Structure 1
Amino acid sequence: MASEDVARKTSDSAVSTIVNLAEEAKLASREGVRAPSHAFLSICKSLVAGGVAGGVSRTAVAPLERLKILLQVQNPHSIKYNGTMQGLKYIWGTEGFRGLFKGNGTNCARIVPNSAVKFFSYEQASRGILWLYRRQSGKEDAQLTPLLRLGAGACAGIIAMSATYPMDMVRGRLTVQTEKSPRQYRGIFHALSTVLKEEGPRALYRGWLPSVIGVIPYVGLNFAVYESLKDWLIKSKAFDLVEDNELSVTTRLACGAVAGTFGQTVAYPLDVIRRRMQMVGWRDASSVVTGDGKSKASLEYTGMVDAFRKTVRHEGFRALYKGLVPNSVKVVPSIAIAFVTYEAVKDVLGVEMRISD
C-alpha cells in the first residue's frame, strides 16, 4: 500500500506541474490574456466534448466490454465463456438483451468524467510541454515530437484515471455479478458504500498501482500514435488522403484504430491484474463459484507483483491475455470513435483549438 501512496503523491505532483506549465504558457502567449469568461467557456466546451466522446464510444462497445471483464476474472475450473461469439451468445441466452449492457450505466458514469478530464488534461499538458520545449530549445516554431506527445498522453491518463478510479472499481464488480450471485450490489452508490463499510476506503483504490503503470503506455500511445500518424499523413500527403489540409472521418477513424491497437496490446496484462486485484475481498463474486455451486474464496494478492506471479503460476502466461480478443474488437472502434467524436463535438460547439492544433 505504501507504493500506492507514493504513486498517488507523484500523480498529484504531476497535476500541479501540468497546471503551472499550462498557466505559464497562456501568459506567454503572443495572443495576450483572454477574458476569464471566454476561457471558462472554452474549458467547459472542451470538457463537454470529451465527456460526449467517452459516453458514445463506450456505449457502442458495451457488450464487448462486459465480456472482456468476465473472461478476465472467471474461475479457470468452471469455464462459462470460451470466446467472443460464444460468450456473447451465453450472456444473451442467460440474461437477455439487458445482460449485454449490464454495468454500462456505471461505466458511463465513470467514463464520461474520465474522458472529459483526459482530453482536457492532454490539451493542457501538450501546451505546457510545448512551451517548455520551445523555451529550452530556443526554437519558437518547434512542434511536439512523438515522444513529447507520449509524455502528455501519459500525464493525461494518470490524472483522469486517478480522479475516477473508485468508479472503475465498483463498475468492475457490478459488471461481474449475475442474477445468481449471492451478493447483489443495487447500483453505483450502494456498491461504493458497501465496499467502504465492509472493506475500508483503501479497497476503492485496490489495483491502482498497475492501473497507473498500465495507463502510461495505453493512453500515452493512443494520443502519440493518433496525433503523429495524422500529422505525418497531412504533411506527407501520403495515399492521397488529404483534402484541403484535412483528413476525412474515415481516415481519422483508421488512425484511431491503429492507435488503439498499439496501446491496448502493450498495456493489456496490467489491465488483467488490475481487474483481479479489484475482486480481492469480494467473496461473493460469481467468478469464484466452483462447478458444484459452492462459494470459494478468490486468490489473495499482497500486491501487483504477487498477482502477476500467482496468475502465471496457476493459469499460465496466457492468462495475462484473457479477454484480449473481445477487447481488441472493442478497443479498435472505441478509441477511433472517441477521437473522431471529440473533434466533431468541438467543431459543433465552436471551439477554436483541437488536439491536433
Structure 2
Amino acid sequence: MASETKIVNLAEEAKLAREGVKAAPSYAFTSICKSLVAGGVAGGVSRTAVAPLERLKILLQVQNPHNIKYNGTVQGLKYIWRTEGFRGLFKGNGTNCARIVPNSAVKFFSYEQASKAILQLYQQKTGNEDAQLTPVLRLGAGACAGIIAMSATYPMDMVRGRITVQTEKSPYQYRGMFHALTTVLREEGPRALYKGWLPSVIGVVPYVGLNFAVYESLKDWLVKSNPFGLVQDSELSVTTRLACGAAAGTVGQTVAYPLDVIRRRMQMVGWNHAASVVAGDGRVKAPLEYTGMVDAFRKTVRYEGVGALYKGLVPNSVKVVPSIAIAFVTYEVVKDVLGVEFRISD
C-alpha cells in the first residue's frame, strides 16, 4: 500500500541519515517536474470548478453587518449573477490559481522533509529504528508544511482576497494580481502584504495538519480493519480515498474556519473600496479597524456575535467534497497523460 511504502521509505532514509550515508535520489528530476505540473493542473481545475463558492465564502466573511447583501449560498450566488454577471462568479480566480502551483509544491515538499526529520528524531528518542509516524507526528509534519507554504505565498493570497471582494460599484479597481501587489506596496507598504498572517499561520496548524493526519490515519485504519470489505489487495478504492479526503478536509476546515474569517477581515483593513464597505447607493461606509488578531476576534464577536466567525462556512463546506474529487481525478488523468510514475503522496 502507498502509505506503508511511504513509511518504509522514510524509515530507511532516516536510518541512512543516522549512519551518515547520503541516500541516492529516489526519483528523476523530470519525473518530479511532471508530478508538480500534474498537481498544479489538478489544483487549478478543482479551484476553478468551485470558484463561485469560494468567492461567495469570502464575501460572506467580510460583508458589512449593516448592509447585508448575501443571506445564503443560493441567494448569494443569484445576487452575484444578477449584479455582476457570469464573470463576477469567477472574480479573483486567476489570482487564486496562480498561487496553487507554488503553494502545493512547497507544501508537499515541506511535508516530506518534515516527516523525514521528525521520524529520525522520534527513532533516536525511542531507540527503535523500526518506529513509524504516529497521527500526532503526522499532525506536526503537516503543520510545518502548512506554515512554510502559507508564508511563502501569503502576499498572493492577500491580494486575491481584495480582488475577490471588489465589485463594479467599488470606486477603485485592481486590474490584476501584479497591479494589486504593486498598488498595495506603494500605498500601504510591504507590511500590508502580510496583514492577517498570524491568524493564517495559527489556522494552518490545525487545517493542514489535520488534513494530513486524518487522511493518512484513516487510510491506515481502513486497511488494517477492513470494515465492510472496503480493502481489496491492500488497496483502497478511489471512492474510499475520496471519502477519506473529504472527511479530512471537513474536519480541518471546520476547526480552522474562525481564523480564516479573521484573516480575511484583517486583510481588508486600510482598503476602503471593498465590497463589504460599499453601500447599495454607492456610498462608502467606514470599515472597522483592528489593532491585531485578538482585537479582530473581540470586535467581531461583540458587534456581530459568535456566529460571525462562521460566516461563509456553508459554501465552504459545500465545495470541499467536489473540490477534492475533481482534484484527485484531474491529477490522475494528467499523471497518466504525462506518464508520471512518481506520486508526491507516496
Note closer, same or farther for the CA distance 1:31–1:86 as it changes in structure 2 (3 Å cut).
farther
d(CA) in 2 for partners of 1:106, 1:197: 19
d(CA) in 2 for partners of 1:310, 1:344: 47
> 2:99 is paired with a residue of what secondary structure?
helix
1:308 correspondence with 2:297: yes
d(CA) in 1 for partners of 2:61, 2:250: 19
CA RMSD of aligned residues (A): 2.5
Q: What is the match of residue 257 of structure 1?
A: 246
For residue 161 of structure 1, the aligned residue among 150, 159, 164 is 150
* Residue type of the alignment partner of 1:95: E
* Residue type of the alignment partner of 1:116: A
Matched-pair contact (CA < 8 Å) for 2:169–2:282: no
1:58-111 alpha-carbon deviations (Å, 9 max, x no partner): 122111000000101111111111100111111112222221111111000012
Gaps in structure 1 of 5+ consecutive residues: 1-20
Note closer, same or farther for the CA distance 1:204–1:32 as it changes in structure 2 (3 Å cut).
closer
For residue 327 of structure 1, the aligned residue among 316, 327, 330 is 316
Note closer, same or farther for the CA distance 1:206–1:179 as it changes in structure 2 (3 Å cut).
same
Q: What is the match of residue 161 of structure 2?
A: 172
Matched-pair contact (CA < 8 Å) for 1:25–1:127: no
1:287-320 alpha-carbon deviations (Å, 9 max, x no partner): 1023443112211100000000111111111111
Q: What is the match of residue 6 of structure 1?
A: none
Q: What is the match of residue 281 of structure 1?
A: 270
Q: CA deviation at 1:180?
A: 1.3
1:105 correspondence with 2:105: no
Q: What is the match of residue 318 of structure 1?
A: 307
Matched-pair contact (CA < 8 Å) for 2:62–2:265: yes
* Residue type of the alignment partner of 1:140: E
For residue 176 of structure 2, the aligned residue among 159, 166, 187 is 187
For residue 299 of structure 1, the aligned residue among 270, 274, 288 is 288
Q: CA deviation at 1:133?
A: 1.8
d(CA) in 2 for partners of 1:260, 1:239: 23
Note closer, same or farther for the CA distance 1:22–1:293 as it changes in structure 2 (3 Å cut).
farther
Matched-pair contact (CA < 8 Å) for 1:343–1:354: no
1:246 correspondence with 2:235: yes
Matched-pair contact (CA < 8 Å) for 1:154–1:217: yes
* Residue type of the alignment partner of 2:81: W
1:226 correspondence with 2:215: yes
1:133 correspondence with 2:122: yes
* Residue type of the alignment partner of 1:126: S
Greater mean deviation of Cα atoms: 209-218 or 128-137: 128-137
Q: What is the match of residue 62 of structure 1?
A: 51
Q: What is the match of residue 24 of structure 2?
A: 34
Note closer, same or farther for the CA distance 1:235–1:251 as it changes in structure 2 (3 Å cut).
same
d(CA) in 1 for partners of 2:69, 2:90: 18
* Residue type of the alignment partner of 1:150: L
Note closer, same or farther for the CA distance 1:340–1:28 as it changes in structure 2 (3 Å cut).
farther
1:205-257 alpha-carbon deviations (Å, 9 max, x no partner): 00000000000000100111011101111121122111221111111110011
d(CA) in 2 for partners of 1:196, 1:123: 34
* Residue type of the alignment partner of 1:33: A
Note closer, same or farther for the CA distance 1:199–1:91 as it changes in structure 2 (3 Å cut).
same
Q: Identity of paired residues, percent?
A: 81
d(CA) in 1 for partners of 2:20, 2:49: 42
> 2:172 is paired with a residue of what secondary structure?
coil
Matched-pair contact (CA < 8 Å) for 1:206–1:278: yes
Matched-pair contact (CA < 8 Å) for 1:207–1:275: yes
TM-score by length of 1: 0.87
Q: What is the match of residue 267 of structure 1?
A: 256
d(CA) in 2 for partners of 1:260, 1:336: 11
Q: What is the match of residue 120 of structure 1?
A: 109
Greater mean deviation of Cα atoms: 113-122 or 160-169: 113-122
d(CA) in 2 for partners of 1:340, 1:224: 22
Q: CA deviation at 1:35?
A: 5.1
Gaps in structure 2 of 5+ consecutive residues: 1-10
TM-score by length of 2: 0.89
Matched-pair contact (CA < 8 Å) for 1:165–1:204: yes
Q: CA deviation at 1:32?
A: 6.3
> 2:308 is paired with a residue of what secondary structure?
helix
Q: What is the match of residue 142 of structure 1?
A: 131
